[in-house]
Structure 1
Amino acid sequence: MENKLYYRDAYLRNFSAELIEQKEDETGRKYVTLSQTAFYPTGGGQPSDTGRLNGIEVVDVEEVSGEIRHYIKEELKEGNRIEGAIDWERRFDHMQQHAGQHILSAAFEELYEYKTVSFHLGKDTLTIDLDTENLGTVEAGKVEELANQIILENRPIHTKWVGEDELKQYRLRKELSVSNNIRLVIIPDFDYNGCGGTHPNSTAEVGSLKILGWERQKKLVRVEFVCGQRVLDKLGQKHEVIKELTGLLNSPEQDMGASVNRLLWQKKELEKNIDELKDRLLKYEAADMIVAGKGAIISRVFQNRNIQELQKLGRMLVSDAEDKIFLLASENEEKLQFVFAKGKNAEGNLKEWSKQALSMIDGKGGGNEMLVQGGGRLIPGEEFIRKVTGFIQ
């Protein structure tokens, strides 16, 4: 463990080392190994550090078969002593988030005995999966309150290497995944947990913790939250959104919910009025087609009409002209759609006609004896009508 400087001092930002090896992995990514490093590798739900080695960007760090690989954008010059610098803002953010996760998981277990079964530290938020099928708002509120109380109390966060024989002294929150090189992260009288991640020296450095929400995941509950600077970032983002909405709605923040509900109601009323007007328009179109139509089969081509409108128009037509058959086609961007509708006193096999029509446009469709619909590749609507009525008659 001596070459893992992040375990000696999680606050170490710069270090020196010797270049041990420079290679490419099986995917062709360049990496180097060093005599020692302050770069934390991905593990235990925590992403790796990034930073620079002799000015070359380190984009990822992984521990593979006991060696820590620093993946770099460009090749390093051989034989040089290495000067490393980690991205401190990223490192401290991860320290805050990971310590906050320990506190939140311990709070869930202390108050309700909900164990954490997995943890993920993402770019914007964190999640833990709890071994319970339900989580109530009151429960979440009490857990958040306890977690922030522990943060406010500025309790120390200790790390300690122990052997298996020493573990009996501690009330561990979860079973260990290793049997040697055991590292405990301890918040006295609150949480004792085996962990290889980086953490601050006190709970106060976590800053604060906010639960953002939760959802059911099979037989678990996934809780999403943020800690430290991320809480302020989220607050800032939400504040900007609220300011913008306040202007758009011309309403103070406390009345915003009522304003949105009013707009949604108005939108529903408008949509209802639009649907009624569309139906009236379709009735006029149906009457016009019936008056202007000649012969047993009446057809018309439309532009950008969806299949639902064509179906509705077809039903209106045959309800008023029970001895007629109607063929409606619409040219829609890259697709031609059509509807066959037959009055109850008209004769003709719509399904058979539809098969032939679909073969002309390499299309698919379906329906019943009185109304069929389909669609396929785009050809001129008038050409389609002409060909279809040609083989029918």
Structure 2
Amino acid sequence: MRMTSTVVGALACQLDSYLTTFDTTVVSCRAVQVAAPATATKSGKKGKTGGAKEAEAPAVAPTVSAATEYELELQDTILFPEGGGQPSDHGIIATDSGSLPVLAIRRAVLTALHKVATPLAPETKVTLTVDWKRRFDHMQQHSGQHLISAILDTMEIPTLAWNLGEKVSYVEIARKLSDAEVQIVEDRCNDVIRQGVDIWVEVPDKDLVKKDKLPDDYDAERGILRVVHIGNLDSNPCCGTHLKNTKEMNAISLLHQVPIRGTNSRLYFLIGDRVRAYTKELHALTRSLNAKLSCQTEEIEPKISRLETQLKETVKREKQWTTEVAQTEATRVRAELTERKKSLVYRAELTGLDYFNLFMNELGKLEPGAGVIVMASGAPKTAGALVVIGDAADVVAGNIRDAGIISTLKGGGKGAKWQGKVALWEKGEPEALTAFFETL
């Protein structure tokens, strides 16, 4: 007779969320194909010490190889499958021959499937161990979300959705709360935590459970419908793992709100051990700012405001000076074009195109026959740019590229303008460009 598995809703982790180890048996194992990320490769170029440079080969088409993973159905499990807004547990499946990390657990209608990298034969005896730190964190966040939503319900503000994030979670509500309302919700939640209200799970008659919040693919007739209670304050259908008492939440901290979908708002929160971790993280950040800004904590905000003002003034002055430099350079280039029909503008301290755009604006339109201008930015071991404008600019740029003096140059254009990027200037390449320019 074929073994069967416990349905989701009556799993060991749902009957007792505090179990950390559990003995069970493999019911079935099936292979699943997982596509590996596509990768693209191309032939490289030899460096300066590797001899002559090779011509660049075309990129090789992306290759995709499928990896095989396996989904285990167990007689029962203490590893919670993702559902109800709660991520799946992490854990280990141990056998007499070794241990397998569980990559994920998902619910397939009423069956919990454990994804692993190595197959296990049906009827294999295994021992499960849950990542308790992660599990307890999820219990704190999920039970805490029920509490937050229950308090919001008393204010006639229903919870529309929620998300359990890796560091911060949120509830989505129909409107933004005022700062005073946020404080009221937080205070009431922490009052309930201090009271130590019991949390328990009931499996009532199915006809008494609202089924509008059940997943579309959950078989309500064959499945188990659970209702999570927080004292007399809240009763809600839920499949997740939960605490036994609100005291285990330790504390709830409501953070900030973000508008979404019209008038809706996401209210972010921290619960339990995350509050302590967040406090330590903020304290370390504050201490770092104290050191970097050479000030006390209460002085950080005014000091940053002063620095912002100084930065704006510095940027304004830099723009003025840069404009003056561009005007002076434009005058020099016009003279060179009159004399030589060509001019080189090289700025080692820059990497982008902002200055060149400003310079070209100051220079004005080049008439046919005026000559050609080569502009380059960047220094060895940094990125940069190359812009060529004027007579036969595309031909000049093509000659520079074909000469191979800028190994990482890529770009394009036609006629009177060619523009490209230099991924990395190699040693000696700026000088080589200057020398090549003189041969034009």
- The answer on 1:196 being equivalent to 2:239 is yes
TM-aligned CA deviation for residue 109 of structure 1: 2.4
Would the alpha carbon gap of residues 81 and 68 (structure 1) be closer, same or farther in structure 2, given more than 3 Å must change?
A: same
1:92-111 to structure 2, matched below 5 A, reads 92-111=136-155
TM-aligned CA deviation for residue 203 of structure 1: 1.0
1:343 maps to what in 2? Answer: none
1:70 maps to what in 2? Answer: 114
Would the alpha carbon gap of residues 291 and 234 (structure 1) be closer, same or farther in structure 2, given more than 3 Å must change?
A: same
**What is the aligned counterpart of 2:298 among 247, 254, 260?**
254
2:12 maps to what in 1? Answer: 5
What secondary structure, in the 3-state scheme, does the structure 2 residue paired with 1:182 have? coil
The answer for unaligned runs of 5 or more in structure 1 is 341-349, 367-371, 388-393
Give per-residue Cα distances to partners, 1:332-366, cap 9 Å, x unaligned: 457531455xxxxxxxxx9xx77888998873489
TM-aligned CA deviation for residue 97 of structure 1: 0.6
**What is the aligned counterpart of 2:387 among 330, 337, 340?**
337
Would the alpha carbon gap of residues 150 and 364 (structure 1) be closer, same or farther in structure 2, given more than 3 Å must change?
A: farther
TM-aligned CA deviation for residue 258 of structure 1: 0.8
Preserved CA contact (<8 Å) 1:307 1:338? no
C-alpha separation in 2, matches of 1:218 and 1:365: 46
Preserved CA contact (<8 Å) 2:89 2:131? yes
**What is the aligned counterpart of 2:356 among 280, 292, 310?**
310
When the two chains are superposed, the root-mean-square deviation of aligned CA atoms in Å is 3.5
C-alpha separation in 1, matches of 2:354 and 2:388: 10
C-alpha separation in 2, matches of 1:255 and 1:239: 15
1:215-254 to structure 2, matched below 5 A, reads 215-219=258-262, 220-254=264-298
Preserved CA contact (<8 Å) 1:16 1:84? yes
Would the alpha carbon gap of residues 356 and 108 (structure 1) be closer, same or farther in structure 2, given more than 3 Å must change?
A: farther
Preserved CA contact (<8 Å) 1:330 1:381? no
**Paired letter, 2:88:** S
TM-aligned CA deviation for residue 261 of structure 1: 1.2
Give per-residue Cα distances to partners, 1:22-44, cap 9 Å, x unaligned: 33235432232222222211111
2:157 maps to what in 1? Answer: 114
Output the TM-score relative to the length of structure 2: 0.71
Deviates more, 1:77-86 or 1:291-300: 291-300
2:60 maps to what in 1? Answer: none
Preserved CA contact (<8 Å) 1:296 1:325? no
1:390 maps to what in 2? Answer: none
2:226 maps to what in 1? Answer: 183
C-alpha separation in 1, matches of 2:230 and 2:330: 77
Identity of aligned residues (%): 23
C-alpha separation in 2, matches of 1:315 and 1:382: 27
**What is the aligned counterpart of 2:317 among 249, 270, 273?**
273
Would the alpha carbon gap of residues 283 and 19 (structure 1) be closer, same or farther in structure 2, given more than 3 Å must change?
A: closer
1:140-219 to structure 2, matched below 5 A, reads 140-167=182-209, 175-177=212-214, 179-180=220-221, 181-219=224-262
What secondary structure, in the 3-state scheme, does the structure 2 residue paired with 1:239 have? helix
Preserved CA contact (<8 Å) 1:329 1:385? no
What secondary structure, in the 3-state scheme, does the structure 1 residue paired with 2:88 have? coil
Would the alpha carbon gap of residues 85 and 318 (structure 1) be closer, same or farther in structure 2, given more than 3 Å must change?
A: closer
1:44 maps to what in 2? Answer: 84
C-alpha separation in 1, matches of 2:74 and 2:183: 46
**Paired letter, 1:159:** V
What secondary structure, in the 3-state scheme, does the structure 1 residue paired with 2:79 have? coil
**Paired letter, 1:162:** P
Output the TM-score relative to the length of structure 1: 0.79
The answer for unaligned runs of 5 or more in structure 2 is 1-5, 35-67, 378-382, 402-410, 423-431
Give per-residue Cα distances to partners, 1:296-338, cap 9 Å, x unaligned: 956334246654423433444459x99x957432134575314
TM-aligned CA deviation for residue 278 of structure 1: 2.2
Preserved CA contact (<8 Å) 1:185 1:195? yes
Deviates more, 1:273-282 or 1:305-314: 305-314
Would the alpha carbon gap of residues 384 and 107 (structure 1) be closer, same or farther in structure 2, given more than 3 Å must change?
A: farther
Would the alpha carbon gap of residues 307 and 297 (structure 1) be closer, same or farther in structure 2, given more than 3 Å must change?
A: farther
1:280-319 to structure 2, matched below 5 A, reads 280-291=324-335, 293-295=337-339, 299-303=343-347, 306-317=352-363
